[in-house]
Copies of this chain bind each other. A is one copy, B any other.
Amino acid sequence: MNADQGEFAFIDWLRHRSTTDASVAVGIGDDCAVTLVPATTRQLLVTTDMLLEGSCFLLDEAGPRAVGRKAMAVNLSDIAAMAGVPRWAVVSVGLPRQRGRTIAEEIYLGLREMADAFGTLIVGGDTNSWDGPLTLSVTLIGESLPPGPCLRRGAKPGDWLLVTGTLGGSILGKHLTFTPRVREAQILQRHGPIHAMIDISDGLSKDVGHICQASGCGVILDAWRIPLSADAHRLAEQTGKSPVEHALTDGEDFELAFAVEPSIGQRLLEEQPLGEVRIAHIGEFIPAGFYLRDDTGVHPYEPRGYSHPLE
């Protein structure tokens, strides 16, 4: 093959586009990246997410740049869920053989758009081509801020359940265009303490269920308080399900769900420190069980959302 068209030519293309930063001793092009850890850093946050063509996105519909953007954004959202600061990313990609170089460049530009917006450096990766569909995996390393990372465990009976933004129907577009709540999470943590937090990727009910499971408690969700997106309404018209049901079960909202003491919750609702991203109070943690309260009463609810089937 012509070396000018292969993997190494692309790596050269990447190296010329890399930003330099005092925290990166060795970037793209050696066997490992070498990053410099500040003396104050004791805890690293590490997360990884893989996107698969046909399952997480439709390449022809979304285009490779939006796919790159999403691949970085979903990882940033995981760092947001811990109220952390994203720092360094590595990217591995399995490219289709046809148009692979063009797709690779577009993906990189999408990755960089998101990375640059959140002060994150792409320090390395692995470029492959194959006969299969496009596959893309990003690993993101971050740092936690005092008083430490917000975990899923820590919600207490009596805590309020709050969420950011509006929910449901992300498949109509937001799953590709969302802004990870990195800054919002840091602001929330300063207004905390946050007892538990998660980003809504599997679906509101499923992810609140994850908090309950990790915290050893239950929850009552108030159906009428759940902030519904315009897309939840639009999708409901197509599916015949209710907008609330979409908000409860659609995945990939990438908003934050979190538990705080009522006094903290009350202050967050009044101050609304996230500006246009509204904070809503949608429920209360209880000792056990998962319930939905609507205008007919309180009903047991089985958390539903997306889960990858494995046979």
Encode contact with B along A222-241: 1 for CB under 8 Å, 0 otherwise.
00000000000000000000
Checking B48, B53, B311 against A139 with a beta-carbon cut-off of 8 angstroms, the contacting residue is B48
Q: How many copies does the complex hold?
A: 2
Given known A82-B30, A132-B52, contact A47–B124 (CB-CB < 8 A): yes
Checking B31, B45, B135 against A135 with a beta-carbon cut-off of 8 angstroms, the contacting residue is B135
Q: Which one of A36-44, A62-70, A272-280 is at the interface? A: A36-44
Checking B43, B88, B132 against A46 with a beta-carbon cut-off of 8 angstroms, the contacting residue is B88
Smallest Cβ distance from A45 to chain B, in angstroms?
Answer: 4
| B6 near A82: Cβ-Cβ < 8 Å | no
Given known A32-B84, A44-B34, contact A6–B309 (CB-CB < 8 A): yes
A25 at the interface (CB under 8 A from B): yes
Residues from chain B with a CB closer than 8 A to the CB of A99 are: 311
| B311 near A97: Cβ-Cβ < 8 Å | yes
CA distance A94 to B57 in the complex (A): 14
Which A residues contact B (CB, under 8 angstroms)?
Answer: 1, 3, 5-10, 25-26, 29-37, 39, 41-50, 52-56, 78-79, 81-82, 84, 88, 90-95, 97-101, 104, 123-133, 135, 137, 139, 141-142, 144, 149, 151-153, 198-199, 214, 307-311
